[in-house]
């Protein structure tokens, strides 16, 4: 008797489990099929394309030819990777330190905090194409607001996005010193793009930092104050370590974001004057020259570079971040 | 960094220093915040003012050429002039700019509806159901989220041309990569996971199955997350440029963001006031939407903390 009662029960439970699994797959199917078709498949397809001379006409198998071309000494890939790294190394620390400072200021007992937050977040919401079109005109040497402010302060106007000279060279020339070429620094056009990027992303990063600051229990501060910690010590020994998961996260997404940056650079400089980053180079090779094979090879190399940076960051974080 | 280190010092001083010093510190904080606030909005103000200037006032760098500081009159017909210069759509006889707006609304509507629907369904499976290969599939979704768009951009575009899907220069090509979004699955799943399991048990006793429970209980509960996702997808699609540019050939298939870049390379390149008039028309709907719904944005970004 016992066997005959339990057997149907078990099979009933199995049936219920099977039905639940079936339902799950049905619910997942639309999203997963779309990922499969438009993300997973293109990765393999891109690898395949990258092994060919793939243009509009007949294509021929090249093996690793596109990669060899990209990695060859004197190819345009290396300068573009250099531009990408320069952009990251300039934009990330500037953005993060300003965003953290502003978050720290806004975290004090401030009137109108909500208003400041809304206003500073605004640039992130709006179209980068439109705002970089506005900034390109603010930077204009002739009719730009920035140069007219400089002139009214009695300073020399600059050529901003049109300037391919390095910023150190410009400063040195201003002081009457001549610098060797390898010390020229990033081009002023690149620095201008970085300033724009800072304007766009500071409010976004600040919002993440504010959330992180809100997660630090206030008892920690009170305990430290009772022990006689001053303001700097509070920041150094409580805020900074307890905020480190947020900081790590913000740094990670900012680095990845800068390595993929495209829209605003395209609108402001089209990659001219030392701003041809890898993502601009990929787009130009494909859009202007229809070199799908070469562009795919470049994209794979850039993705590898991003992956490498992410792994290094994770390693660093494992030793520095306090969870 | 000087500012970062300066502030906690200010904090310390607040406790011991006389009131005068405290007020000075506060004044400094407000000064910094107000300056940053002004920098955040001044490009928008400049854009708005420039869009109603005449050409001469743009070239002579006058920030406010109207009374009481000058004697120009605001030129609201810049908007009509810009729309006229963008041209006419031969299919419909409408101004091309309105065609761009219609395309944008269509593409944005499809992307929002599809990404929200697929996210809600998938999120429910991941949050509430047990099934074989759940972890593997979740990692797959996670992986699609981490993949840089550059990697798939070219093969996706090649897929759209006539040897493959033959979707080039059509709406399906414009929306295809955005119909499902791993970010959305995370956002909604995060929300579903917070709903107590007892609610499901109660619904079951009342005879509700999974689909009924999802529709009647979970979706209404997750409304804030769903609204957040819909808003973010809306602005991302509205602002999308590179993909649409890659898979469209004719002006009548373009969206406002792509149309703006096209205009900048033609008439808008020399006529800054007209370029800004178009920029205003692209940006203003988003700004208004954002101002009415801004709490969803910050909450959505801080609960998942993702997507830069």
Min Cα distance B68 → chain A (Å) is 20
3-state secondary structure of B287: helix
Q: Decide if A140 is inside a domain.
A: yes
Q: Decide if A315 is inside a domain.
A: yes
- What are the pLDDT digits (tens) for A186-195? 999 999 999 9
Given a contact cutoff of 8 angstroms between Cβ atoms, the answer to whether A299 and A227 are in contact is no
Identify whether residues A28 and A113 lie together within a single domain.
Answer: no
CB contact under 8 A, A42 and B155: yes
Q: Does A262 touch chain B (CB under 8 A)?
A: yes
Identify whether residues A44 and A90 lie together within a single domain.
Answer: no
Q: Which chain B residues are Cβ-neighbours of A106 within 8 angstroms? A: 33
Sign of the Cα torsion A108, A110, A116, A118 reads positive
State phi, psi for A316 to the nearest 5 degrees: -60, -45
Q: Decide if A64 is inside a domain.
A: no
Identify whether residues A110 and A221 lie together within a single domain.
Answer: yes
Token pair 């570079």 is found at A305
Mutate to test the interface with A, among B150, B164, B184 (most CBs of A within 10 A): B150
Look at residue A45 in the predicted model and tell me its pLDDT: 96
CB contact under 8 A, B176 and A38: yes
Report H helices in B129-271: 134-146, 149-159, 171-175, 182-193, 197-205, 210-213, 219-221, 223-239, 242-247, 256-265, 267-270
Distance, CA of A205 to chain centre: 11
Min Cα distance B91 → chain A (Å) is 27
B280: CATH: 1.10.3720.10
Identify whether residues A307 and A255 lie together within a single domain.
Answer: yes
Q: Which chain B residues are Cβ-neighbours of A30 within 8 angstroms? A: 117-118, 121-122, 180
Given a contact cutoff of 8 angstroms between Cβ atoms, the answer to whether B179 and B144 are in contact is no
CB contact under 8 A, B7 and A35: no
CB contact under 8 A, B148 and A31: no
Q: Which chain B residues are Cβ-neighbours of A41 within 8 angstroms? A: 155, 159
What DSSP designation does A236 have? I
Number of domains present in the structure of chain A: 2
Q: Decide if B55 is inside a domain.
A: no
Identify whether residues A28 and A128 lie together within a single domain.
Answer: no
Q: Decide if B106 is inside a domain.
A: yes
Look at residue A6 in the predicted model and tell me its pLDDT: 60
Q: Which chain A residues are Cβ-neighbours of B130 within 8 angstroms? A: 17, 20-21, 24
Rg over CA atoms, chain A? 26
Report the first-to-last Cα separation within chain A, whole angstroms.
Answer: 56
Q: Decide if B105 is inside a domain.
A: yes
Look at residue A7 in the predicted model and tell me its pLDDT: 63
Given a contact cutoff of 8 angstroms between Cβ atoms, the answer to whether A133 and A140 are in contact is no
Report the C-alpha gap between A292 and A271 in whole angstroms. 19
Nearest to A231 among B10, B242, B286 (CB): B10
Q: Which residue of A has its CA nearest to B237?
A: A127
Residues 53-112, chain A: which have Cβ within 8 Å of B?
A: 54, 97, 100-102, 104-106, 108, 110
Q: Decide if A116 is inside a domain.
A: yes
Q: Does A27 touch chain B (CB under 8 A)?
A: yes
Identify whether residues A98 and A29 lie together within a single domain.
Answer: no
Residues of chain B below pLDDT 70: 1-22, 303-308
CB contact under 8 A, A232 and B141: no
Residues of chain A below pLDDT 70: 1-8, 57-58, 322-323
Identify whether residues A45 and A183 lie together within a single domain.
Answer: no
Domain hosting B296: range is 82-304
Identify whether residues A31 and A97 lie together within a single domain.
Answer: no
A144: CATH: 1.10.3720.10
Look at residue B13 in the predicted model and tell me its pLDDT: 47
What are A117's two structure tokens?
A: 């937050």
Q: Does A261 touch chain B (CB under 8 A)?
A: no
Q: ipTM surpassing 0.95, yes or no?
A: no
Nearest to A129 among B117, B147, B239 (CB): B239
What are B68's two structure tokens?
A: 């009481």
Angle formed at CA B114 by CA B109 and CA B116, multiple of 5 degrees: 100
Min Cα distance A266 → chain B (Å) is 9
Residues 82-141, chain B: which have Cβ within 8 Å of A?
A: 117-119, 121-122, 124-126, 129-132, 134, 137, 140-141
Q: Does A304 touch chain B (CB under 8 A)?
A: no
Min Cα distance B112 → chain A (Å) is 14
Q: Does B154 touch chain A (CB under 8 A)?
A: yes
What are A52's two structure tokens?
A: 């060919």
Q: Does B150 touch chain A (CB under 8 A)?
A: yes
Look at residue B18 in the predicted model and tell me its pLDDT: 55
Cα distances from A5 to residues A18, A105, A126, B149, B272, in angstroms, run: 20, 69, 65, 56, 83
Nearest to A127 among B61, B154, B239 (CB): B239
3-state secondary structure of B17: coil
CB contact under 8 A, B9 and A231: yes
Q: Decide if A247 is inside a domain.
A: yes
CB contact under 8 A, B7 and A127: no
Number of domains present in the structure of chain B: 1
Min Cα distance A180 → chain B (Å) is 30
Report the C-alpha gap between B58 and A133 in whole angstroms. 15
CB contact under 8 A, A120 and B37: yes
Identify whether residues A15 and A97 lie together within a single domain.
Answer: no
Q: Which chain A residues are Cβ-neighbours of B156 within 8 angstroms? A: 38, 42
Q: Decide if A234 is inside a domain.
A: yes
Q: Decide if B18 is inside a domain.
A: no
Among A214, A7, A151, A198, smallest CA distance to B43 is for: A198
Identify whether residues A82 and A41 lie together within a single domain.
Answer: no
Domain hosting A9: range is 2-50
Identify whether residues A175 and A303 lie together within a single domain.
Answer: yes
Q: Decide if B88 is inside a domain.
A: yes
Min Cα distance A301 → chain B (Å) is 9
Q: What's this model's pTM, rounded to 2 decimal places? A: 0.90
Total Cβ atoms within 10 A of residue A60: 11
Given a contact cutoff of 8 angstroms between Cβ atoms, the answer to whether A91 and A197 are in contact is yes
Q: Decide if A10 is inside a domain.
A: yes
Q: Does A43 touch chain B (CB under 8 A)?
A: yes
Q: Decide if B195 is inside a domain.
A: yes
Look at residue B303 in the predicted model and tell me its pLDDT: 65
Min Cα distance A123 → chain B (Å) is 7
Among A319, A38, A113, A63, smallest CA distance to B144 is for: A38
Q: Decide if A66 is inside a domain.
A: no
Report the C-alpha gap between A236 and A218 in whole angstroms. 15
3-state secondary structure of A53: strand
Give B142's Cβ-side CA count (13 Å radius).
7
Min Cα distance B286 → chain A (Å) is 6
Residues 211-230, chain A: which have Cβ within 8 Å of B?
A: 211, 225, 230
Given a contact cutoff of 8 angstroms between Cβ atoms, the answer to whether B237 and B107 are in contact is yes
Report the C-alpha gap between B206 and B217 in whole angstroms. 13
Min Cα distance A254 → chain B (Å) is 7
Cα distances from A121 to residues A98, A246, B39, B286, B298, in angstroms, run: 14, 18, 12, 13, 9
Identify whether residues A305 and A204 lie together within a single domain.
Answer: yes
The shares of helix, strand and coil residues in chain A, as percent rounded to the nearest 5, are 75, 0, 20
- What are the pLDDT digits (tens) for A198-213? 999 999 999 999 989 9
Angle, helices A278-287 vs A77-107, to 10°: value is 130
């Amino acid at each position: 008797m016992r066997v005959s009662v339990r057997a149907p029960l078990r099979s009933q439970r199995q049936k219920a489990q099977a039905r639940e699994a079936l339902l799950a797959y049905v619910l997942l199917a639309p999203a997963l099929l779309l990922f499969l078709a438009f993300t997973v498949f293109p990765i393999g397809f891109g690898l395949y394309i990258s092994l060919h001379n793939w243009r509009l006409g007949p294509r021929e198998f090249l093996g690793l030819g596109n990669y060899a071309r990209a990695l060859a000494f004197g190819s345009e890939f290396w300068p573009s990777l250099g531009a990408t790294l320069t952009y990251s190394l300039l934009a990330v620390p500037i953005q993060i330190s300003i965003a953290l400072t502003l978050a720290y200021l806004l975290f004090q007992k401030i009137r109108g905090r909500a208003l400041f937050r809304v206003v500073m977040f605004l640039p992130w919401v709006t179209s980068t194409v439109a705002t970089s079109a506005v900034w390109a005109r603010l930077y204009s040497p002739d009719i730009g607001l920035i140069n007219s402010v400089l002139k009214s302060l009695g300073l020399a106007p600059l050529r901003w996005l049109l300037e391919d000279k390095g910023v150190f060279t410009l400063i040195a020339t201003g002081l009457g010193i001549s610098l060797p070429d390898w010390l020229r620094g990033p081009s002023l056009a690149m620095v201008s793009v970085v300033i724009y990027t800072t304007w766009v992303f500071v409010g976004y990063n600040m919002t993440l930092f504010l959330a992180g600051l809100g997660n630090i229990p206030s008892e920690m501060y009170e305990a430290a104050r009772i022990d006689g910690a001053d303001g700097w010590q509070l920041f150094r020994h409580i805020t900074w370590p307890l905020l480190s998961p947020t900081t790590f996260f913000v740094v990670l997404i900012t680095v990845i974001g800068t390595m993929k940056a495209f829209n605003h650079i395209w609108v402001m400089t089209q990659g001219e004057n030392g701003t041809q980053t890898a993502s601009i180079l990929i787009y130009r090779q494909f859009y202007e020259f229809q070199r799908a094979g070469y562009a795919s090879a470049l994209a794979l190399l850039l993705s590898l570079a991003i992956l490498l940076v992410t792994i290094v960051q994770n390693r660093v974080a494992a030793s520095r971040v306090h969870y | 960094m000087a500012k970062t280190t300066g502030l906690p010092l200010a904090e310390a001083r607040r406790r011991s220093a006389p009131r005068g010093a405290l007020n000075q510190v506060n004044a400094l904080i407000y000064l910094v915040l107000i300056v940053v606030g002004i920098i955040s909005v001044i490009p928008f103000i400049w854009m708005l003012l420039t869009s109603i200037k005449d050409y001469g006032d743009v070239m002579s760098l006058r920030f406010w050429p109207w009374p009481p500081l000058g004697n120009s009159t605001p030129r609201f017909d810049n908007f009509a002039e810009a729309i006229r210069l963008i041209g006419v759509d031969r299919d419909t006889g409408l101004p091309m700019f309105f065609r761009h707006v219609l395309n944008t609304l269509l593409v944005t509507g499809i992307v929002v509806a599809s990404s929200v629907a697929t996210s809600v369904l998938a999120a429910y499976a991941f949050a509430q159901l047990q099934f074989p290969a759940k972890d593997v599939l979740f990692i797959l979704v996670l992986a699609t989220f981490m993949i840089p768009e550059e990697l798939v951009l070219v093969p996706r575009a090649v897929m759209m041309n006539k040897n493959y899907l033959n979707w080039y220069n059509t709406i399906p090509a414009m929306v295809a990569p955005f119909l499902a979004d791993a970010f959305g699955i995370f956002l909604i799943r995060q929300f579903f996971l917070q709903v107590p399991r007892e609610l499901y048990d109660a619904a079951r006793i009342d005879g509700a199955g999974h689909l009924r429970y999802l529709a009647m209980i979970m979706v209404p509960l997750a409304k804030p997350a769903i609204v957040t996702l819909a808003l973010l997808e809306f602005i991302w699609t509205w602002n999308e440029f590179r993909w649409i540019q890659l898979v469209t050939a004719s002006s009548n298939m373009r969206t406002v963001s792509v149309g703006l870049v096209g205009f900048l390379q033609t008439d808008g390149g020399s006529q800054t006031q007209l370029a800004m008039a178009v920029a205003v028309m692209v940006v203003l709907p988003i700004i208004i939407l954002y101002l009415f719904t801004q709490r969803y944005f910050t909450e959505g970004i801080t609960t998942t903390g993702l997507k830069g």
